[in-house]
Copies of this chain bind each other. A is one copy, B any other.
Amino acid sequence: MSIQHTVVFRLVHEPGSTAEIEFLASGRATLISIPGVTAFAVNRQVSPKSDLTWQFSMVFADQAAYDAYNAHPAHVEFVETRWKTEVDAFQEYDFVAH
């Protein structure tokens, strides 16, 4: 069964800044290139009921594809070199159809 992996987050960068735009573009380019990632999307979170402002969303065909993504060097490097220093707060959710 396919899994929608999502993370909602807020950056340390100023909204509208060059650093923000660069982070989103770099994240997209890096993560979309990893095998098994489909339907990759960057969304703006606009509900005032949360102070998180962005979402990365992607779909994996199955748990094996998801596990391979998590262990992929490009993902690990992105988390270590960008995510940990440029993301101020985040929440992960994974969805499967009911």
Residues of A within 8 A of B (CB): 3-5, 8, 24, 41-47, 49-50, 52, 54-55, 57, 91-98
**Distance A49 CA – B47 CA, assembled complex (angstroms):** 21
Number of copies: 2
Please tell me if the beta carbons of A96 and B41 are within 8 angstroms of each other in the complex.
no
**Distance A45 CA – B55 CA, assembled complex (angstroms):** 16
- With contacts A42-B98, A98-B24 taken as known, whether A93 is within 8 angstroms of B8 at the C-beta atoms is yes
Dominant secondary structure at the A interface:
strand
Please tell me if the beta carbons of B46 and A96 are within 8 angstroms of each other in the complex.
yes
Please tell me if the beta carbons of B43 and A98 are within 8 angstroms of each other in the complex.
yes
Residues of B with C-beta under 8 A to A44: 95-98
